[in-house]
Each structure stands twice: as C-alpha cells, then as structure tokens.
Chain A
Amino acid sequence: MSVAAASRAAPRGSGLARLLNGPHDIGRTPGAWAVLAAGLASFLVYPHWATAFQATNVAYYLLNIPMALGLSLLWGYGGVLSFGQVAFFAVAGYVYGIVAGNLPDAPWGTWLGVVSGLGASAALAAVFGYFIFYARVAAWIVPILTLVLALLLSTFLGLTAGSMWTVGQVPLGGYNGMTGIPALQVGTLTFQDYAFYYLTVGVVVLCYIGLRAWVNAHRGQVLMAIREDTLRTELLGYDVRREQLRAFVLAATLAGVSGLLYVQWGNYITPSVTGLQQAALPVVWVAVGGRDSLLAVAICTFLLNQLSYVLSSAGNQYALVIIGALLVAVMMFAPEGIVVTLARRTWRRRR
C-alpha cells in the first residue's frame, strides 16, 4: 500500500454499507445480518396475524428504542451519562400536543408539531448542555443535573392545572396531563393501529441504521476517542466540549422521537413520564442490554418494555423491585450488559 494512499483514505471508505459493518456494534458476520434481516421481516409481516390492538402493543414496546439508542450513544460510546433523557421525551410530546392540538384543521398541523417537538427537545438540550459541557464539569455532575432537570420538569408540568395553563385551545392539564392529542396525518391516512405500528417500526429501523453508521463514521470515532482519553483527543485539535454537546443534542432529539411516538400511541401524556421512576428506565434498558452496543440496547429495550408492561398490567407490585434488582445485578455481575455478554459468548464458542 502506498504511503500517500494509505494515509489519505479513511480506513474503511465511507459507503453506507461499509459504515454499517464497521467495528463499533455487535452483529457483523453475514449470519448476524441474516438474523437481523429475518427479525425485521417478522416485524413487517407480524400484523398479518395480529389484531390492531396487539400490533399497537408491540409498537409500544418498540417506541422507546430511539431514546435508548440516544442514551447508548451518549453513555456507552461517549462516556457521558444522562439521567434526564425523559425530560426531552416529555418536552417533545407536550410541544407536539400543543402545536398539533391548536392546528386541528391544517393538513400539515401534525407535521409542524413534529418539527416543533423535536426542535424544542434539541433547543433545551443545547442550552442546558452548553452550561454543562462548556464548564467541563466532573463526570458525575452531568447525570445529577439532567436528573434534576427531569424532576423539575415533572413538578412544573404537575402544576399546570387550570385554565391559566391553557395554550391556545390546549390545556396542559396538570397531574392529569394532556389528552386528546391528535395523531399524525398524511392526506386521509391517520397513523393509528396498523399504520402506527408500521410508522414505529420504520422510525426505529431508521434510527438504528443511522446511528450505527454514525458511530462507525468519523464523528462517532471522535466520541469514542474522547471517552478513551479526553486530553489526548483535545490535543489532536478537537474541541471536546463541542463534540460532547453535539452528541448530547443528538441523544435529546432521539428521546424526542420516542416522545412523539408515545403521544401517537396513547394520544395523551402526563407529567409522570418525566418523573423519577420513568427517568430510571432508559438507564436500565441501556445498562442491562450493554451500553456500548446499539443492537444490544435495542433488543433489550424491546424485551424489558414488554416485561414491564406484562408485570404492570398483571398488577404486579414488584415491577420496580425487579427492575431495580436487575439493574444492581447487571452492574455487579455483567457490567458489559447481558445481551452483549451473551452475544460475545456465542461468538467465541462458534470460533
């Protein structure tokens, strides 16, 4: 290999396929891709046998995946932990509800809601993140302050009962939350039931593919370099504060995507989505799956959401205890995450 060519070209080119198969996620063998494709295919044909209710439930298990992927990017790949992703989830949901709810007759009303919702999440993250990352605070301060942000947002939303807190024609609703949030619309198609299911599957797949390419591309590489050695990275000419802020805003936007899907699902949102217990859940999904693998996080988020749903709809009071114990056990005995540990074992045995 000539010196000039070797040092000029990026090591793996930059085509999407090559990025996707880059080293920074599990599942790179042809076999793994086949399993992934089969998985996706079964999600695509599933509604054929399922009722609209069942399909909507499955969509519910899926819709938190973008938020979890964002946290995986931030924590697993970037080494920056946030406990407040649910705040961005809630902001997107509420802002969407306000905008779309005030434009019931405009054909593009709901889409303006989407843009404003994501914009609001990103803007909040940018302002908040500026203070945190440009101060170069110690690592433990980021999760603490983001958690406080989520809790205060929840408290604030709980106080918004009464006509004083009606924006245009949409009441925020205090503890009872905002109801009657309109579903996304294109022409005559409303994204409910099966359409909502396919929307969710599509968004989740897009987020996953996009992020997997991102972590294998230059920006992701820099994020991992910062995680490994912040000072060394800065002394290669990178503005570390900016790179971290960028990842933070991206993760917040992804949390916003989940928030938007959530309000499509139930057409309501309450302050509890950004309360202390909900705030813990993304951390659990990501830690239990394996924070530095997007695929593991996606799989684990799906499974744990299903578990929580089953537990809570069976009226099981131990749900939180089980989730908490799972988190403690994983942090102690499988700190790489359960899914990642299993995947690596299988891979090793095959070799």
Chain B
Amino acid sequence: MPEAVSLLYQFGTNAAFLLLSALGLIVILGMMNIINLAHGEFMMLGAYAATASVQRGVPFPLAVLIAAVAVGLFGVVIERLIVRRFYGRELGALVVTWGISLILGQGALLLFGPFMPPIAIPGGAVALGDYSFSVYWLFLIVLCGVLLAALAFVYRATRFGLQARAAMQNARMARALGIRVDRIYMATFALGAALAGLSGALLAPTTSIAPFMGQQFVAPAFITVVVGGGASVIGGALGSSGLLSLVQTPVAFLFGTFSGTLALLLTALVVIRLLPGGVSSIGRYFTRRSLAAAR
C-alpha cells in the first residue's frame, strides 16, 4: 500500500513538474501559434524575482505572486517591442525568442552573479510507512489542478476567454467583429509569461537558482508542448503531462533520471508519428476546429 502511494506520488510529482514547466508555453502556442523559446529564461526570472522578494522578508506565497506579475509585465514589454512583429511567422518567432533567451541568461549572470541563495522548501514532510512525502510537492500537485481549472474558467466564462477563442479560430473574422485581436494577443502573451514566472517561482525552492537554470526546463517543457499539440490548451497540457509522466516515472525509477528524460523524447517521437497534432488533436473533432489548411 505505501509503495503504491509512493508510486502515485512520484507520478504526480513528475506530471506536476512537466505541467508547470510547460503551461505558459502551451497557453501562448495554443492561442497565438507562437513558440516562446525564452520560456525557460522567463521561468528563471520568476525564480529570481521570488528569491529577491523572500530575501527582503516578503512571505513566500506573496513572493510567488509578485514574481508572476513581474514576469507578466516583462512579457508585455517583450511582446510590444519584439514578438508582435512575428505573428504569422512561427519560425521567425522561434529564432527571435532564442536571441532573447541568450540575452536574458547571460544578462542575469552579469547583473546578479552566478549564485542566488536558495529558498527553503516550505512545509515539512508527511510519512507513510517507510516513505515520506514532501508537503510542498503535494501542494504543487493540487495547485496544478487549480491552475487548470482557473484557466478553463477564464476561457469558458469570461469575455476575454470568448474573444481569445474567437481570435484563435479566425483572426480575420474576429477583427471584423470588432474584437481587438492585437490586445488579445498581448494579453495572452502576458498570461503565458506570468504563468512562466509563477512556475519558476513555485519551482524555485526545489532547485538551485542560477542564471542558466532555465535550460533544465527546456527539454521537459518543449516535449510536453509537442506531445500536447496546439489544438486545445487544457486538454493538451493535462493529457500530455499525464501521458509523459506515465512513461517517465517507471523508466526514471528503474534506469535513472537521464533515461527518464530520454524516454520523454522517444515518447514524443512516437506520439507525433501517430498523432501529428499531439494528444489534444484527439479532441479536435469535438471542438470543431479544423486544422486542414488545404483547400
């Protein structure tokens, strides 16, 4: 029994890590068809902002919120100055955001130096049999569910969500209906950036905080996005992180962390071979969003 719980805990932890790493990326991709390669650096900025706040005596939960808002605002700046010019040019956007990521990583090193003091993991551990589970990770797992529910609410029940979905399906038509698509894109990018900042801050206590820490999120985050696909944000995020964790947990347990990550890549290759649109494209039929461009 404790073994089963432990396995479930491992599974949940991995899935939560993948989901947190990828969520901001998926939001931006799903709505704007743009991949933000500086995503890892946005997470790094979130971690830095949270650490700096905690150092100044701000309580951790508040520090996480500050980080999300700060990185969200930073996202607005980047979107207005740069990314805005690359709508409709997915490859150009990829390349330019990579340039941004280089500047941010090295810039953080130059500005803040190579080390940041770690944040202690909040909460203790609970024991069950011979196993102990981190309360913080349990909290993160629950929080992932809350975040997804909140996103679902935003998309389904708010005016922004409605307009965003309209813009996503047919930008021209949405514009003709008087929706300010430009604004929607800006807000979406800000939301994605804020989620990256939030994740970076939330994961900060679990990792060492350094200028190039963003790199560790690149492989898991991007694989999660590829497996999820862009057809549906919530379905993609949930399905993809769940499926990947299902593969990663046993492989990493038996053969080590690297093999776990390698298994993620192999899974991604197999999934795209079978479902080029990712797991979220299974639901495409129901959302009535045709991806067939050819006419």
Contact = CB atoms under 8 A, between A and B. Distances in A.
Contact present between A and B (CB < 8 A): yes
Interface of A: 75, 79, 81, 83, 128, 131-132, 134-141, 143-145, 147-149, 151-152, 155-156, 159, 231, 276-277, 280, 283-284, 287, 317-321, 323-328, 331-332, 335
Contact of B91 (A139, A325, A327): A139
Contact of B268 (A83, A145, A276): A145
Given A131-B272, A331-B92, A332-B82, A325 B265 contact: no
Interface in B96-136: 96, 98-103, 105-107, 109-110
A133 to B, nearest CB: 10
Q: Which of B212, B258, B262, B269 has the most CB of A within 10 A?
A: B269
A324 B100 contact: yes
A351 B107 CA distance: 44
B98 A283 contact: yes
Nearest to A330: B99
Given A136-B276, A324-B103, A147 B91 contact: no
Contact of B101 (A131, A138, A324, A335): A324
Contacts of B230: 138
A324 B99 contact: yes
A160 B85 CA distance: 43
Contacts of B86: 331
A25 to B, nearest CB: 21
Interface string B261-281: 110010011101110110000
B272 A320 contact: no
A110 to B, nearest CB: 31
A138 B230 CA distance: 10
A291 to B, nearest CB: 10
Nearest to B262: A152
A137 B272 contact: yes
7 contacts: A144-B94, A144-B225, A145-B265, A327-B96, A328-B96, A328-B103, A332-B82
Nearest to A320: B106
Contacts of B103: 320-321, 324-325, 328
Contacts of A320: 102-103, 105-106
Nearest to B229: A138
Contacts of B98: 83, 280, 283, 327
A156 B269 CA distance: 18
A231 B294 CA distance: 8
Contacts of B109: 317
B102 A324 contact: yes
